[in-house]
Amino acid sequence: MLQGNWCVDAGGENCPCFLAEGGACLTCSRLAGGGCEDCLWSGVCVANEYEQNGRVIRLGRKTQYVAVKRKKCYDEQTAVLALDVGRGMAQRCSLPGSYVFLQADEKISWSQAPISVMRAEVQKGWIWVLIKGISVKTKALLKAEEGGKLLLRGPYQNGLFGGFALRQFGFASRREKTKEKPQVLILAKGAGLAPAVLVRDFLKERAHIRLLLDTAKLTDSLAKDWAGEKGRAGEEKEEAYEPVKLELAREREQICQLMRGEDWRFICIFASDYYLAYFGKSLLSQGRCGSLVLSNNFHLCCGEGICGACSIEDQKGQTRKMCKCQMDGETLLSQGLLHG
């Protein structure tokens, strides 16, 4: 296994998967044609699991119909849907970085689009998703109506680089009930609102969260419904956001200063690769990237590490499947693995 690079599903309910069967496991060297000498995985041995299971893989995620319970349109290209997925799946979708594949046209299997979960209401068994009608797949999803159905496959968990550390922190602070709440900064733009809301929900009781939101591609009512009231810089309000304009160089510089100037436990940036690179480079140059959480903007198609749509080559010429490969934000930036 490569350092800073492990499969987000390793040791979980979907492991071993198709990749183990095909001799291309991302975590286990033995299941990828090698030996144990270079194995860095410290969890349950994937090869043993596979052998003891009679070389049968765990059942993958199934595609299923889910009911559209609510729909709210914000403009012609933007809507929020509530989907009834059941309590078990809603619980799994409550983890930061969760996303699902949604499909409007049941006859065209390749029309599944990866969509971030914005909120999970576990008691109701609902998840809320933000749909931006960008192209054919997402425009078809926008036509879904209350009372109708969509096809859903998931959930998948690799929507954030550094998301694993975020979850570990959340679970640990829940167990230990620490009195001191650390500071978390979230910077989001456009559809980055969805993972931002999910992270804020997850960390709400455990951290002081400051949300900076660029609403250039969002309506005011969408921002208000999901990010809360507009707040002023530095105000301690859990259900508020501070509006920012990332296209303004002056504001970007102020945000860089803010990122460098405080003792943030996590800095989360959910925006295009251009902005991930912009702010990431500034933090890297200051050695302040330790707990950076970045949106996974790679093109995802199967989400299972099979189709290769998300593959990139790292500096050593090794292929990485970014739908499965979990790494921290610093590794992603320092190895030049962003597109932007």
What residue ranges bind ligand FES (CB under 6 A)?
A: 300-303, 305-310, 321, 323
305: left (phi over 0), alpha (psi -120 to 50) or beta: left
Q: Is the Cβ of residue 2 or residue 307 nearer to ligand FES in the bound state?
A: 307
Q: Is the Cβ of residue 57 or residue 307 nearer to ligand FES in the bound state?
A: 307
Backbone angles phi, psi at 240, to 5 degrees: -145, 165
Dihedral sign (CA 149, 150, 154, 156)? negative
Distance CA 121, CA 114 (A): 20
CB 137 within 8 A of CB 101: no
Residue number, nearest CB to ligand FES: 323
Q: Is the Cβ of residue 101 or residue 202 nearer to ligand FES in the bound state?
A: 101
We find the least distance from the C-beta atom of residue 157 to ligand FES, in angstroms, to be: 13
We find the least distance from the C-beta atom of residue 307 to ligand FES, in angstroms, to be: 3
Q: Is the Cβ of residue 46 or residue 302 nearer to ligand FES in the bound state?
A: 302
Q: Is the Cβ of residue 112 or residue 272 nearer to ligand FES in the bound state?
A: 112
Residue 171's identity, in one-letter code, is: F
337: left (phi over 0), alpha (psi -120 to 50) or beta: alpha
CB 171 within 8 A of CB 106: no
Q: Is the Cβ of residue 57 or residue 309 nearer to ligand FES in the bound state?
A: 309
Residue 252 CA, distance from chain mean position: 23
CB 227 within 8 A of CB 193: yes
We find the least distance from the C-beta atom of residue 114 to ligand FES, in angstroms, to be: 8
We find the least distance from the C-beta atom of residue 324 to ligand FES, in angstroms, to be: 7
We find the least distance from the C-beta atom of residue 311 to ligand FES, in angstroms, to be: 6
We find the least distance from the C-beta atom of residue 297 to ligand FES, in angstroms, to be: 13
Collapsed DSSP state (helix, strand, coil) of residue 211? strand
**Exposure of 218 by Cβ count < 10 A (0-12 exposed, 13-18 middle, 19+ buried)?**
buried
Query: Which two three-digit tokens encode residue 217?
Result: 């591609």
We find the least distance from the C-beta atom of residue 310 to ligand FES, in angstroms, to be: 3
Query: Which two three-digit tokens encode residue 94?
Result: 């409550």
We find the least distance from the C-beta atom of residue 14 to ligand FES, in angstroms, to be: 14
We find the least distance from the C-beta atom of residue 325 to ligand FES, in angstroms, to be: 9
Backbone angles phi, psi at 184, to 5 degrees: -130, 130
Among 326, 331, 311, 307, CA closest to 9: 326
Q: Is the Cβ of residue 42 or residue 135 nearer to ligand FES in the bound state?
A: 135
Distance CA 131, CA 191 (A): 8
> Hunting for tokens 């997850």 — which residue is that?
202
Q: Is the Cβ of residue 30 or residue 321 nearer to ligand FES in the bound state?
A: 321
Q: Is the Cβ of residue 93 or residue 300 nearer to ligand FES in the bound state?
A: 300
